[in-house]
Structure 1
Amino acid sequence: MKRKLTEGEKLRRAQILARKINLLLDAIVDQGGRPYDYPAIEAAAEKTGYFISRTRWSMLKNGQLQVVPDACLCAIATVLGVDPEYLLREDAKLPPQVEVMLPQVRIKRLYEVRDFATKALGRLDPEGLRAITTILDQAVQRRIDAARFSGRVAGTRQQDEGPSYASPKLDGRRVALRGRVLPAQHARATTQAARHGLSLSEYLAALIDRDSGLPTRLDQGPEAPTPRASS
Protein backbone atom coordinates (compact mmCIF):
# COMPACT_ATOMS: atom_id res chain seq x y z
CA MET A 1 0.00 0.00 0.00
CA LYS A 2 1.28 3.43 -0.93
CA ARG A 3 2.20 5.53 2.11
CA LYS A 4 0.02 8.55 2.73
CA LEU A 5 1.94 11.80 2.62
CA THR A 6 2.04 14.05 5.65
CA GLU A 7 0.90 17.67 5.40
CA GLY A 8 4.53 18.74 5.61
CA GLU A 9 5.49 16.48 2.69
CA LYS A 10 2.56 17.76 0.64
CA LEU A 11 3.62 21.34 1.30
CA ARG A 12 7.21 20.56 0.31
CA ARG A 13 5.99 19.05 -2.99
CA ALA A 14 3.87 22.12 -3.68
CA GLN A 15 6.84 24.42 -3.02
CA ILE A 16 9.16 22.37 -5.23
CA LEU A 17 6.58 22.44 -8.01
CA ALA A 18 6.22 26.21 -7.61
CA ARG A 19 9.99 26.68 -7.92
CA LYS A 20 10.04 24.58 -11.10
CA ILE A 21 7.13 26.46 -12.67
CA ASN A 22 8.60 29.87 -11.81
CA LEU A 23 11.98 28.85 -13.22
CA LEU A 24 10.28 27.82 -16.46
CA LEU A 25 8.42 31.12 -16.60
CA ASP A 26 11.73 32.97 -16.17
CA ALA A 27 13.44 30.99 -18.93
CA ILE A 28 10.70 30.30 -21.50
CA VAL A 29 8.70 32.65 -23.74
CA ASP A 30 5.85 32.09 -26.18
CA GLN A 31 6.10 32.08 -29.98
CA GLY A 32 5.97 35.87 -30.06
CA GLY A 33 8.86 36.23 -27.61
CA ARG A 34 6.61 37.35 -24.76
CA PRO A 35 6.64 36.02 -21.19
CA TYR A 36 3.86 33.58 -20.33
CA ASP A 37 1.18 35.31 -18.27
CA TYR A 38 -2.01 33.61 -17.11
CA PRO A 39 -4.12 34.40 -20.24
CA ALA A 40 -1.37 32.89 -22.43
CA ILE A 41 -1.15 29.80 -20.21
CA GLU A 42 -4.93 29.42 -20.13
CA ALA A 43 -5.29 29.73 -23.91
CA ALA A 44 -2.39 27.37 -24.69
CA ALA A 45 -3.56 24.79 -22.13
CA GLU A 46 -7.07 24.79 -23.54
CA LYS A 47 -5.60 23.83 -26.91
CA THR A 48 -4.25 20.68 -25.21
CA GLY A 49 -7.73 19.93 -23.88
CA TYR A 50 -7.26 21.10 -20.29
CA PHE A 51 -8.60 24.22 -18.57
CA ILE A 52 -6.43 25.84 -15.88
CA SER A 53 -8.31 28.33 -13.73
CA ARG A 54 -6.69 31.57 -12.60
CA THR A 55 -7.04 30.42 -8.97
CA ARG A 56 -5.28 27.11 -9.62
CA TRP A 57 -2.51 28.86 -11.58
CA SER A 58 -1.94 31.35 -8.77
CA MET A 59 -1.79 28.56 -6.19
CA LEU A 60 0.65 26.58 -8.34
CA LYS A 61 3.00 29.56 -8.71
CA ASN A 62 2.85 30.35 -4.99
CA GLY A 63 3.37 26.80 -3.73
CA GLN A 64 0.00 26.55 -2.00
CA LEU A 65 -1.47 23.18 -1.07
CA GLN A 66 -3.99 21.79 -3.54
CA VAL A 67 -4.78 18.56 -5.35
CA VAL A 68 -3.12 18.89 -8.76
CA PRO A 69 -4.23 16.32 -11.38
CA ASP A 70 -1.48 14.78 -13.50
CA ALA A 71 -3.43 16.02 -16.53
CA CYS A 72 -2.93 19.60 -15.33
CA LEU A 73 0.82 19.12 -14.94
CA CYS A 74 1.04 17.45 -18.36
CA ALA A 75 -0.83 20.39 -19.92
CA ILE A 76 1.60 22.87 -18.34
CA ALA A 77 4.57 20.80 -19.50
CA THR A 78 3.19 20.69 -23.04
CA VAL A 79 2.59 24.46 -23.11
CA LEU A 80 6.10 25.22 -21.85
CA GLY A 81 7.75 22.62 -24.08
CA VAL A 82 9.26 20.39 -21.39
CA ASP A 83 8.98 16.72 -20.51
CA PRO A 84 6.14 16.13 -18.01
CA GLU A 85 8.61 14.14 -15.91
CA TYR A 86 10.34 17.39 -15.02
CA LEU A 87 7.22 18.53 -13.17
CA LEU A 88 6.07 15.14 -11.92
CA ARG A 89 9.39 13.99 -10.45
CA GLU A 90 11.38 15.89 -7.84
CA ASP A 91 14.70 14.52 -9.13
CA ALA A 92 13.95 15.04 -12.84
CA LYS A 93 16.77 16.45 -14.95
CA LEU A 94 16.65 20.14 -15.79
CA PRO A 95 15.40 20.72 -19.38
CA PRO A 96 18.28 21.68 -21.74
CA GLN A 97 16.55 24.86 -22.91
CA VAL A 98 16.24 25.97 -19.29
CA GLU A 99 19.75 24.93 -18.30
CA VAL A 100 21.28 27.08 -21.03
CA MET A 101 19.39 30.10 -19.70
CA LEU A 102 20.31 29.62 -16.03
CA PRO A 103 23.09 32.25 -16.02
CA GLN A 104 20.68 34.91 -17.27
CA VAL A 105 17.90 33.79 -14.94
CA ARG A 106 20.23 34.05 -11.93
CA ILE A 107 21.39 37.50 -12.99
CA LYS A 108 17.79 38.61 -13.51
CA ARG A 109 16.80 37.44 -10.04
CA LEU A 110 19.72 39.26 -8.46
CA TYR A 111 18.56 42.45 -10.16
CA GLU A 112 15.05 41.83 -8.83
CA VAL A 113 16.45 41.52 -5.29
CA ARG A 114 18.36 44.76 -5.84
CA ASP A 115 15.20 46.53 -7.06
CA PHE A 116 13.30 45.28 -4.02
CA ALA A 117 16.02 46.46 -1.64
CA THR A 118 16.06 49.87 -3.32
CA LYS A 119 12.31 50.29 -2.89
CA ALA A 120 12.33 49.01 0.70
CA LEU A 121 15.38 50.89 2.00
CA GLY A 122 15.86 53.83 -0.35
CA ARG A 123 14.52 56.49 2.03
CA LEU A 124 14.65 54.61 5.33
CA ASP A 125 18.28 53.53 5.37
CA PRO A 126 20.43 54.94 2.53
CA GLU A 127 23.66 53.73 4.14
CA GLY A 128 22.30 50.21 4.57
CA LEU A 129 21.04 50.30 0.98
CA ARG A 130 24.50 51.22 -0.32
CA ALA A 131 26.03 48.29 1.58
CA ILE A 132 23.43 45.85 0.25
CA THR A 133 23.58 47.06 -3.35
CA THR A 134 27.38 46.89 -3.30
CA ILE A 135 27.19 43.21 -2.32
CA LEU A 136 24.47 42.52 -4.91
CA ASP A 137 26.36 44.35 -7.66
CA GLN A 138 29.44 42.25 -6.92
CA ALA A 139 27.31 39.10 -7.06
CA VAL A 140 25.82 40.18 -10.40
CA GLN A 141 29.29 40.83 -11.82
CA ARG A 142 30.48 37.42 -10.68
CA ARG A 143 27.50 35.81 -12.41
CA ILE A 144 28.16 37.77 -15.60
CA ASP A 145 31.84 36.83 -15.54
CA ALA A 146 31.01 33.17 -14.92
CA ALA A 147 28.57 33.12 -17.83
CA ARG A 148 30.98 34.97 -20.10
CA PHE A 149 33.93 32.71 -19.42
CA SER A 150 32.25 29.33 -18.87
CA GLY A 151 33.44 27.70 -22.07
CA ARG A 152 31.34 29.75 -24.49
CA VAL A 153 34.18 32.18 -25.20
CA ALA A 154 37.93 32.10 -24.81
CA GLY A 155 39.14 31.03 -21.38
CA THR A 156 41.58 33.93 -21.01
CA ARG A 157 39.89 36.62 -19.00
CA GLN A 158 40.34 40.18 -20.20
CA GLN A 159 39.82 43.05 -17.79
CA ASP A 160 37.20 45.58 -18.81
CA GLU A 161 38.40 49.16 -18.68
CA GLY A 162 36.40 52.32 -18.59
CA PRO A 163 34.29 54.49 -16.29
CA SER A 164 32.41 52.87 -13.41
CA TYR A 165 28.79 51.96 -14.11
CA ALA A 166 26.07 54.03 -12.44
CA SER A 167 22.61 52.46 -12.27
CA PRO A 168 20.24 54.50 -14.46
CA LYS A 169 16.61 55.36 -13.78
CA LEU A 170 14.45 52.36 -14.56
CA ASP A 171 11.28 52.24 -16.63
CA GLY A 172 9.55 49.44 -14.71
CA ARG A 173 12.33 46.86 -14.45
CA ARG A 174 14.14 47.95 -17.60
CA VAL A 175 16.26 50.78 -18.91
CA ALA A 176 14.86 52.85 -21.76
CA LEU A 177 17.36 53.24 -24.62
CA ARG A 178 16.87 56.13 -27.00
CA GLY A 179 18.90 56.84 -30.11
CA ARG A 180 18.83 57.36 -33.86
CA VAL A 181 19.77 54.96 -36.64
CA LEU A 182 19.65 55.13 -40.42
CA PRO A 183 16.45 53.92 -42.14
CA ALA A 184 18.34 51.05 -43.78
CA GLN A 185 19.70 49.98 -40.40
CA HIS A 186 16.21 50.12 -38.90
CA ALA A 187 14.87 47.99 -41.74
CA ARG A 188 17.60 45.38 -41.29
CA ALA A 189 17.10 45.29 -37.52
CA THR A 190 13.32 44.95 -37.88
CA THR A 191 13.73 42.08 -40.34
CA GLN A 192 16.24 40.23 -38.16
CA ALA A 193 14.16 40.74 -35.00
CA ALA A 194 11.09 39.33 -36.75
CA ARG A 195 13.08 36.26 -37.87
CA HIS A 196 13.76 35.45 -34.23
CA GLY A 197 10.28 36.37 -33.00
CA LEU A 198 11.62 39.36 -31.04
CA SER A 199 10.68 42.99 -30.68
CA LEU A 200 13.33 45.56 -31.63
CA SER A 201 14.21 46.19 -27.97
CA GLU A 202 14.47 42.44 -27.27
CA TYR A 203 16.66 42.05 -30.37
CA LEU A 204 18.97 44.82 -29.21
CA ALA A 205 19.19 43.28 -25.73
CA ALA A 206 20.04 39.91 -27.27
CA LEU A 207 22.82 41.49 -29.36
CA ILE A 208 24.27 43.09 -26.22
CA ASP A 209 24.24 39.76 -24.37
CA ARG A 210 25.72 37.87 -27.34
CA ASP A 211 28.56 40.38 -27.55
CA SER A 212 29.26 39.61 -23.87
CA GLY A 213 29.40 35.87 -24.56
CA LEU A 214 26.01 35.08 -22.98
CA PRO A 215 23.56 32.60 -24.56
CA THR A 216 20.65 34.22 -26.40
CA ARG A 217 17.80 33.29 -28.71
CA LEU A 218 19.89 34.54 -31.64
CA ASP A 219 22.06 31.42 -31.29
CA GLN A 220 19.14 29.02 -31.60
CA GLY A 221 16.82 28.01 -34.37
CA PRO A 222 13.25 29.37 -34.48
CA GLU A 223 11.33 26.98 -32.24
CA ALA A 224 8.26 27.36 -30.07
CA PRO A 225 8.38 27.72 -27.19
CA THR A 226 11.90 29.14 -27.08
CA PRO A 227 14.21 30.43 -24.34
CA ARG A 228 13.46 33.95 -23.22
CA ALA A 229 15.42 36.78 -24.75
CA SER A 230 17.62 38.74 -22.38
CA SER A 231 16.00 41.60 -20.52
Structure 2
Amino acid sequence: MGNRGPTMADKLDRLFKTVRPGGREYSYEEVATKIRATGVMISHTYIWQLRKGHRDNPTIRHIEALARFFGVSPVYFLDDDAARQIDEQLELLAALNDKSVRQVALRVAGLSAPSLEAINGIIEHARRIDRLTESGGEPPRHPPAPAPDDTQ
Protein backbone atom coordinates (compact mmCIF):
# COMPACT_ATOMS: atom_id res chain seq x y z
CA MET A 1 0.00 0.00 0.00
CA GLY A 2 2.93 2.34 0.64
CA ASN A 3 1.35 5.72 1.38
CA ARG A 4 -0.22 5.54 4.82
CA GLY A 5 -2.22 8.34 6.33
CA PRO A 6 -1.27 10.32 9.39
CA THR A 7 -0.52 8.32 12.52
CA MET A 8 -2.13 8.71 15.93
CA ALA A 9 0.97 10.70 16.92
CA ASP A 10 0.59 13.00 13.89
CA LYS A 11 -3.05 13.67 14.69
CA LEU A 12 -2.48 14.31 18.39
CA ASP A 13 0.48 16.57 17.60
CA ARG A 14 -1.73 18.51 15.18
CA LEU A 15 -4.33 19.05 17.92
CA PHE A 16 -1.70 20.28 20.38
CA LYS A 17 -0.33 22.71 17.77
CA THR A 18 -3.73 23.95 16.59
CA VAL A 19 -5.97 24.05 19.67
CA ARG A 20 -4.16 26.77 21.59
CA PRO A 21 -6.22 28.84 24.01
CA GLY A 22 -4.59 32.19 24.61
CA GLY A 23 -2.00 31.42 21.92
CA ARG A 24 -0.07 28.84 23.90
CA GLU A 25 0.07 25.09 23.67
CA TYR A 26 -1.47 22.99 26.42
CA SER A 27 1.00 21.16 28.66
CA TYR A 28 0.74 17.38 28.97
CA GLU A 29 -0.07 17.82 32.66
CA GLU A 30 -2.95 20.22 31.89
CA VAL A 31 -4.46 17.74 29.44
CA ALA A 32 -4.05 14.78 31.80
CA THR A 33 -5.45 16.66 34.80
CA LYS A 34 -8.57 17.81 32.94
CA ILE A 35 -9.16 14.35 31.47
CA ARG A 36 -8.72 12.69 34.88
CA ALA A 37 -11.32 15.12 36.27
CA THR A 38 -13.84 13.42 33.92
CA GLY A 39 -13.09 10.03 35.49
CA VAL A 40 -10.74 8.69 32.80
CA MET A 41 -7.37 7.69 34.21
CA ILE A 42 -4.51 8.95 32.04
CA SER A 43 -1.04 10.26 32.80
CA HIS A 44 0.85 13.14 31.26
CA THR A 45 3.62 10.67 30.38
CA TYR A 46 1.18 8.48 28.44
CA ILE A 47 -0.10 11.51 26.51
CA TRP A 48 3.50 12.46 25.69
CA GLN A 49 4.18 8.88 24.53
CA LEU A 50 1.11 8.98 22.26
CA ARG A 51 2.12 12.32 20.78
CA LYS A 52 5.69 11.21 20.15
CA GLY A 53 4.66 7.85 18.67
CA HIS A 54 6.18 5.74 21.45
CA ARG A 55 2.70 4.36 22.12
CA ASP A 56 0.18 4.04 19.32
CA ASN A 57 -2.74 1.89 20.40
CA PRO A 58 -4.80 3.83 22.95
CA THR A 59 -8.05 2.45 24.31
CA ILE A 60 -11.28 3.80 22.89
CA ARG A 61 -11.85 5.43 26.27
CA HIS A 62 -8.58 7.36 25.93
CA ILE A 63 -9.40 8.30 22.33
CA GLU A 64 -12.81 9.59 23.40
CA ALA A 65 -11.32 11.55 26.31
CA LEU A 66 -8.61 13.15 24.17
CA ALA A 67 -11.14 14.02 21.47
CA ARG A 68 -13.51 15.55 24.04
CA PHE A 69 -10.68 17.57 25.58
CA PHE A 70 -9.61 19.03 22.21
CA GLY A 71 -13.19 19.55 21.03
CA VAL A 72 -13.18 17.13 18.09
CA SER A 73 -15.09 13.97 17.32
CA PRO A 74 -13.38 10.68 18.26
CA VAL A 75 -13.62 9.80 14.55
CA TYR A 76 -10.74 12.28 14.08
CA PHE A 77 -8.36 9.63 15.39
CA LEU A 78 -9.99 6.73 13.55
CA ASP A 79 -10.76 7.96 10.02
CA ASP A 80 -8.19 9.76 7.85
CA ASP A 81 -10.80 11.44 5.64
CA ALA A 82 -12.63 12.81 8.67
CA ALA A 83 -9.29 13.91 10.14
CA ARG A 84 -8.48 15.90 6.99
CA GLN A 85 -11.86 17.66 7.14
CA ILE A 86 -11.48 18.42 10.84
CA ASP A 87 -7.90 19.66 10.26
CA GLU A 88 -9.21 22.12 7.65
CA GLN A 89 -11.79 23.39 10.14
CA LEU A 90 -9.14 23.68 12.85
CA GLU A 91 -6.87 25.66 10.50
CA LEU A 92 -9.71 28.06 9.81
CA LEU A 93 -10.47 28.46 13.52
CA ALA A 94 -6.78 29.01 14.27
CA ALA A 95 -6.57 31.66 11.55
CA LEU A 96 -9.71 33.38 12.85
CA ASN A 97 -8.15 33.61 16.31
CA ASP A 98 -5.82 36.22 14.81
CA LYS A 99 -7.63 39.54 15.30
CA SER A 100 -6.35 40.97 12.00
CA VAL A 101 -7.48 37.94 10.01
CA ARG A 102 -10.87 38.04 11.69
CA GLN A 103 -11.27 41.75 10.85
CA VAL A 104 -10.48 41.11 7.16
CA ALA A 105 -12.89 38.16 7.02
CA LEU A 106 -15.69 40.21 8.55
CA ARG A 107 -15.08 43.17 6.24
CA VAL A 108 -15.27 41.12 3.02
CA ALA A 109 -18.58 39.53 3.96
CA GLY A 110 -21.29 40.69 1.57
CA LEU A 111 -18.98 41.90 -1.21
CA SER A 112 -19.80 40.89 -4.78
CA ALA A 113 -18.10 37.94 -6.48
CA PRO A 114 -15.93 40.23 -8.69
CA SER A 115 -14.84 42.22 -5.61
CA LEU A 116 -13.99 39.03 -3.72
CA GLU A 117 -12.02 37.77 -6.73
CA ALA A 118 -10.02 41.01 -6.85
CA ILE A 119 -9.31 40.85 -3.11
CA ASN A 120 -8.26 37.21 -3.42
CA GLY A 121 -5.79 38.24 -6.15
CA ILE A 122 -4.30 40.89 -3.87
CA ILE A 123 -4.02 38.36 -1.02
CA GLU A 124 -2.31 35.78 -3.27
CA HIS A 125 0.15 38.46 -4.42
CA ALA A 126 0.92 39.37 -0.79
CA ARG A 127 1.37 35.68 0.09
CA ARG A 128 3.91 35.32 -2.75
CA ILE A 129 5.79 38.38 -1.51
CA ASP A 130 5.89 36.87 2.00
CA ARG A 131 6.81 33.47 0.51
CA LEU A 132 3.70 31.82 1.99
CA THR A 133 2.61 30.21 -1.27
CA GLU A 134 4.28 27.03 -2.50
CA SER A 135 4.94 26.43 -6.18
CA GLY A 136 1.76 25.64 -8.05
CA GLY A 137 -0.18 28.44 -6.38
CA GLU A 138 -1.52 26.40 -3.46
CA PRO A 139 -1.03 27.69 0.07
CA PRO A 140 1.12 25.48 2.32
CA ARG A 141 -0.72 22.61 4.00
CA HIS A 142 0.33 23.84 7.45
CA PRO A 143 0.45 27.64 7.56
CA PRO A 144 2.53 29.30 10.25
CA ALA A 145 0.87 29.54 13.64
CA PRO A 146 -1.04 32.78 14.06
CA ALA A 147 0.67 35.46 16.07
CA PRO A 148 -0.72 36.00 19.54
CA ASP A 149 -3.30 38.76 19.57
CA ASP A 150 -4.88 40.93 22.16
CA THR A 151 -8.12 38.97 22.58
CA GLN A 152 -10.35 39.99 25.38
State yes or no: 1:68 paired with 2:58: yes
Asked whether the equivalents of residues 9 and 56 of structure 2 are also in contact (C-alpha less than 8 Å), the reply is: no
Q: Secondary structure in 2 aligned to 1:203?
A: coil
- Percent identity reads 25
Q: Secondary structure in 1 aligned to 2:149?
A: helix
Counterpart pick for 1:202 among 146, 149, 152: 149
State yes or no: 1:59 paired with 2:49: yes
Per-residue CA distance 1:94-150 (angstroms, 9 max, x = gap): 32641414779xxxxxxxxxxxxxxxxxxxxxxxxxxxxxxxxxxxxxxxxxxx9xx
Shift of 1:82: 0.5
Q: 2:138 corresponds to which residue? A: none
Distance 1:38 1:56 in 2: 9
Distance 2:46 2:54 in 1: 9
Asked whether the equivalents of residues 8 and 56 of structure 2 are also in contact (C-alpha less than 8 Å), the reply is: no
Query: Structure 1 stretches of 5 or more lacking a match?
Result: 1-11, 105-147, 166-174, 176-200, 205-217, 219-231
Superposition TM-score, scaled by structure 1 size: 0.39
Give the aligned residue type for 2:90: V
Q: 2:27 corresponds to which residue? A: 37
Structure (1 or 2) with the larger CA radius of gyration: 1
Distance 1:65 1:35 in 2: 21
Asked whether the equivalents of residues 31 and 44 of structure 2 are also in contact (C-alpha less than 8 Å), the reply is: no
Q: Secondary structure in 2 aligned to 1:82?
A: coil
Shift of 1:29: 2.4
State yes or no: 1:155 paired with 2:117: yes
Shift of 1:88: 2.4
Counterpart pick for 1:17 among 8, 23, 37: 8
State yes or no: 1:100 paired with 2:47: no
Distance 2:149 2:95 in 1: 17
Per-residue CA distance 1:40-62 (angstroms, 9 max, x = gap): 10121112211221221111111
Query: Structure 2 stretches of 5 or more lacking a match?
Result: 97-104, 131-146
Cα RMSD for the two superposed structures = 3.9
Per-residue CA distance 1:7-35 (angstroms, 9 max, x = gap): xxxxx78x6111111111121124x5542
Superposition TM-score, scaled by structure 2 size: 0.55
Asked whether the equivalents of residues 16 and 90 of structure 1 are also in contact (C-alpha less than 8 Å), the reply is: no
Counterpart pick for 1:77 among 46, 53, 67: 67
Asked whether the equivalents of residues 16 and 25 of structure 2 are also in contact (C-alpha less than 8 Å), the reply is: yes
